[in-house]
Amino acid sequence: MPFVFPEPSRTFSEYLLVPGYTSPDCIPANVTLKTPLVKYRKGEEPRISLNIPLVSAIMQSVSNDTMAIALAKEGGMSFIYGSQSIEDEAAMVARVKGYKAGFVVSDSNVTPDNTLADVLAVVEANGHNTVAVTHDGTGTGKLLGIVTGRDYRVSRMSTDLKVSEFMTPIEKLVTAPATTTLKEANDIIWDHKLNSLPLVDEEGNLKYLVFRKDYSQHKENPNELLDENKRYMVGAGINTLDYEKRVPALVEAGADVLCIDSSEGYSCWQKQTIDFIREKYGDSVLVGAGNVVDRDGFMFLAEAGADFIKVGIGGGSICITREQKGIGRGQATAVLEVAAARDEYYEKTGIYVPICSDGGIVHDYHMTLALAMGSDFIMLGRYFARFDESPTPKLNINGTYVKEYWGEGSNRARNWQRYDLGGKSKLSFEEGVDSYVTYAGPLRDNVQKSLYKVKSTMCNCGVTSIPDLQKNAKITLVSATSIVEGGYHDVMLRSTNKRD
């Protein structure tokens, strides 16, 4: 006879938090959302902690370098999607690591013989107003000048005009040697009131650009997630097939942590992947694993050496694994059981392995519930796909702005590696859908609003940190009737439209 769980598996929507005592010091401004990303021993500090408990999903429609930079500014982390070539994924990682270093390799470049039209095309493609003019049009060629928005006016100049006729030539530029430190470069920028400073080698080749805005951004983003070299931190997805080639490339590109991207993590292939990393790199390379939904799955991956473990099967908004295969578990039940297993493992070994709730977040308050139930951080796909910084275009569908969002198990993603069961080379059937999500604007505004709700709820529960929330939260199961009662009811809403 099969084992049948005595209780049904439940979702976050079936629970509510019961308020605790709120002291005078328990206000949102005093709440810290810092949380461990990777495992650590009792009495030690984790090698990486997040400043906010949010990471973006390993998905083509969610996590590219643009998303990674935006989320790192807020204190979270993106995991660059692995369903692309090794070279392309490594390049995305490298762009994130190079962005905040202050030393930026120029990706907007032209030659003196190019035209204003070419400059405008480069600006539109890359979104950067500073364009380097080099002898060969590369970011490392001999520097001949710079073009910025102050060098041309489209309304008064022909787009056929050559760059050499309106660029600021190198003789009029302030430059510095390639050996200049970041602090020295920033001092030069401030002393000369520059927006950017080119660093050139002894042969006059452009090596890097240093921008005033990079210095200013830290003041605007105090929660930035930075490594020891003040570069943005970024994760990267791997699979259980080409890891012997993909992992070294991502490590070389500077990935701070890896994560095995799989629909179901309780497998021999995940252990083989972790074993390879440990044999080649020891503990110097960090790798998360998953997904699992029960104690057995957690214990397997923890003992295999995973640095964090993702929880959730079938709970994502675009995931149809439960519908197609009949496997999975309600996200709330899965998190509660895996969190208990994590605590059991910690008591037994003295090693704390963080868990990540992946999927099942519909409303902002679900974030707080996921944390209260034991999640150390939360992986989100649909939530981040709605923002300006996600990789997909903004479209107008029937008068509503939307962004495209598709599952890694869809035929569009063709990410069969994520669903591999040992040898097949294509998707036999889909486990994800292709869809739209309502456009929501910039990441920064939305994340700050969502996390303010989380902080406010934590204060209602009488706590100011995630560990205290997990220790002291009181959670109640709710009936279907009380769920209805929780929204507006028995009233007629007034129109919010106002006449001019």
Give the active site residues.
Answer: 319, 418
Of 277, 264, 450, 290, residue with least CA distance to 356: 290
Residues 6+ apart with CB under 8 A from 103: 182, 199, 207, 208, 210
Cα(498)–Cα(19) distance, integer angstroms = 37
HSE-up of residue 261 (Cα within 13 Å, Cβ side):
31
Burial class (CB in 10 A: 0-12, 13-18, 19+), 163: buried
d(CA 487, CA 500): 31
How many Å apart are CA 71 and CA 76, to the nearest integer? 5
Closest CA to 54 of 298, 289, 381: 381
Q: What residues contact residue 252 under an 8 Å CB cut-off, 6+ apart?
A: 90
Helices (H) then strands (E): counts for the chain = 15, 24
How many residues in total does the chain contain? 500
What DSSP letter does each residue of 210-271 carry, written as one string?
EEHHHHHHHHH-TT--B-TTSPBP-EEEE-SSSHHHHHHHHHHHT-SEEEE--S---SHHHH
**Residue where the block lists tokens 């931190």:** 233
The one-letter amino acid at 249: A
Straight-line distance from the first to the last Cα atom of the chain, in angstroms, rounded to the nearest whole number = 70
d(C-alpha 138, C-alpha 87), whole Å: 19
Provide the phi-psi class of 277: left if phi over 0, else alpha when psi is between -120 and 50, else beta: alpha
Cα–Cα distance, 79 to 235 (Å, whole number): 4
User: Phi and psi dihedrals of 176, rounded to 5?
Assistant: -145, 160
How many CA atoms, within 13 angstroms, populate the side-chain half-sphere of residue 166? 23
- Tokens coding 204: 């006059």
Cβ-contact 358, 290 below 8 angstroms:
yes
